[in-house]
Amino acid sequence: MENAQIADVFDEISAILQILGENAFRVRSYQNAARTVRDMADRAEDLLSSGEDLKKLPGIGSSIAEQIDEIVRSGTSHRLTELRGKLPRGFLELLRVRGLGPKKAKKLYDDLGIKSLDDLEQACKDHRIRDLPGMGVKTEEKFLENIGRARENVGRMLLRDADAVFEAFAEHIETVPGLQRFSAAGSRRRRRETIGDLDILLQVTDRDAAINRILTFPAISEVEAQGKEKLTLILNGNLNVDVRFFEADEFGAALLYFTGSKAHNIAVRKVAIDQGYKLNEYGLYKGDKRVAGNTEDEVYEVLGLDSIAPELRENRGEVEAAAKHALPILVDHNDIHGDFHSHTIETDGKQSIEEMAQAARMRGLDYLAITDHSQAVTIARGMDNKRVEKHAEAVRKVDAKLDDFWLLAGVEVDILKDGSLDIDTDILGELDWVIASIHSHFDLDEKEMTQRLLAAIETGVVDCIGHPFTRHLVTRGPISIDVDTVFQACRDNGVCLELNAQPERLDLPDVYCHRAKEIGVKVAIASDAHKATDLDYMRYGVSTARRGWLEPGDVLNSLSTKELRKRLVRKPGAQRWR
């Protein structure tokens, strides 16, 4: 359980309380709790298990402390589930619209009876928003512009959030009597960046006993369907789970079927039919005889296919590659030797250089780039030229004390509107690792945006483009660029593309990882950690890289410190990479 997830619960509670018009003091107490938990250096879960008293923390009273305990123990908050039930269904989706917070949502409901994205869209079109106090024609236009984006992921949850619920549920399922096999399936197993619902398969000796046990899971808010084959549950009032039961001989075929994707299933079934087999969720059959079904591998093997990793199962050529024994050997967590993006208290991080280094080391990494923000990001107290130099010196001082670990002195420098960099290039040239990122003017047209990136790429001092599409999975679409032109420029100038592993970004998106590989650009996977525990986001970067077919050689993180040092040597006047 990550602190961010606990904080999200409190943020949502405070949003609902505001919408319900509850007293401001209670609203604020949840906001404060959210902030405290989000910014804590240690995991609340770890503090609790080592017997610490959370009430000692600022903004945490006994009620909040109890709620944290509940969330950590059961993965659920009864308070939140109950509050969600007080709003019309679909109402909270309004908060996905950029620029629409709880206060405005309440006003829209009170004054215009708006209860859903559809209502909001209609009200914008009828020009009813502009007359509300505190809103205007601009607000109306902005809402209209952002509704489409808000709709895209409606009913879908970030993988990280679904993982948290799944992991708590999985622990519970482990206690099921007579449990023989158990696996996640569906989009969660394929590690898609967002999840519609959870799919879980079980093989047990006694289904009734298993169901009885499963139904005692505290986060279950509703049982939608209950039968011998399938259980459909709603967890925490907002996440559906399908639990399905299968016998030993069927389990592999079922896992294949319910892992999907649908498009992958259709492609595999076609291979089966072409060879005179029949394939369904119960097995692979020749006539009436089941010839495979116990494991997925067995089914693939009979069909002459190599085993296909779940992350690849999107019918993007993996079935053909499996038939030709030409599947990629995917990058794996063990290939990751270091992390290329992190922040400290110098800008908007929560921990010191030393703490970040120790945390990276404890996670088995050999190097970490410290890349605090440049001055354009004023809300993050970004650094000017002088501070960049001083901070780099401080990083190198810490690095000098660390044996067998390399702390790269770097920066995340803003790419300004015109494509120039926010820090002098001769200063950037002295650093070990320079990420150039866009954090403003997201809506330039494709031509301008492409030029902007090309200008940065061609400076000769940039190592990596940070979160290249600047997308945010809930609130912000990607910038528009001529992808091939930008990627080719990266290749020709020896600039990497970052795969930012923050669960709400996952940027490069999987399909562009694949494109980067085709064009021949290296990908640097990076946690963009703002505190030690964020370093664990690396795993979301790795799974996205796997979905993009990347092999260890496509990923800069697979280099040892020695190899990386060699590659980062800058020759005066020459491009950065060899």
Q: What are phi and psi of 572, to 5 degrees?
A: -55, 130
Q: Count the neighbouring beta carbons within 10 Å of the beta carbon of residue 51.
A: 6
| Binding of residue 242 to Ca ion (CB under 5 A) | yes
Q: Which residues neighbour 217 within 8 Å (Cβ) at sequence distance 6 or greater?
A: 169, 172, 235
Which one-letter amino acid corresponds to residue 487?
Answer: F
Which C-beta is closer to ligand DGT: that of 318 or that of 463? 318
Q: Which of residues 27-66 bind Zn ion (CB under 5 A)?
A: none
Q: What share of the chain is helix, strand, coil (3-state, %, to 5)?
A: 45, 15, 35
Instruction: Figure out which of the listed residues 36, 265, 344, 500 binds ligand DGT, where binding follows CB under 6 A.
Output: 265
Q: In what order do the strands lie in the sheet with 289-292?
A: 278-280, 283-286, 289-292
Question: What is the rounded distance in angstroms from the CA atom of residue 101 to the CA atom of residue 14?
Answer: 11
CB of 380 to ligand DGT, least distance (A): 33
Other Cβ atoms closer than 10 A to 303:
21
Measured distance CA(439)–CA(441) in Å, rounded: 7
User: 188 vs 341, which CB is nearer to ligand DGT?
Assistant: 188
What is the rounded CA–CA span in Å between residue 140 and residue 125? 8
Given 258, 277, 367, 512, the residue binding ligand DGT (CB under 6 A): 258
Q: How far apart are CA 323 and CA 321, in angstroms?
A: 5
Return the number of the residue (412 or 422) whose C-beta is nearest Zn ion: 412
Q: Which of residues 171-230 bind Ca ion (CB under 5 A)?
A: 186-187, 197, 199
166 binds, among Zn ion, Ca ion, ligand DGT, none (CB under 5 to 8 A by kind): none
Residue 12 · residue 85 · CB < 8 Å: no
Nearer to ligand DGT (CB atom), residue 240 or residue 385: 240
Q: How far, in Å, are 84, 184, 355, 411 from residue 388 at the CA level?
A: 46, 46, 19, 7
Name the residue number minimizing CB distance to ligand DGT.
Answer: 260
Pick between residue 202 and residue 407 the one whose CB is nearest to ligand DGT: 202
Shortest Å, Cβ 151 to ligand DGT: 15
Please choose which of Zn ion, ligand DGT, Ca ion, none residue 260 contacts, taking the beta carbon within 5 to 8 angstroms, the exact cut-off set by kind: ligand DGT
* Interaction between residue 187 and ligand DGT (CB under 6 A): yes
H-state helical runs in 174-247: 186-190, 207-214
Out of 412, 414, 498, 504, point to the residue binding Zn ion (CB under 5 A): 412
Binding of residue 528 to Zn ion (CB under 5 A):
yes
Minimum Å distance from CB 342 to Zn ion? Answer: 8
- Near ligand DGT in 370-429, by CB under 6 A: none
Encoded amino acid at 524, one letter: A
* Piece of 73-81, 104-112, 234-242, 294-302 that binds Ca ion (CB under 5 A): 234-242
Sketch the per residue contact string, 189 through 208, with ligand DGT: x for CB under 6 A, - otherwise: ---x--xxx-x---------
**Residue 225: exposure state from Cβ atoms within 10 A (0-12, 13-18, ≥19):** exposed
One residue of 248, 266, 273, 326 binding ligand DGT per CB under 6 A:
266
Residue closer to ligand DGT by CB (options 187, 558) is: 187
Q: Which residues bind Ca ion (CB under 5 A)?
A: 186-187, 197, 199, 242
Q: Which residues bind Zn ion (CB under 5 A)?
A: 412, 528
Q: Which residues bind ligand DGT (CB under 6 A)?
A: 186-187, 192, 195-197, 199, 257-258, 260-262, 265-266
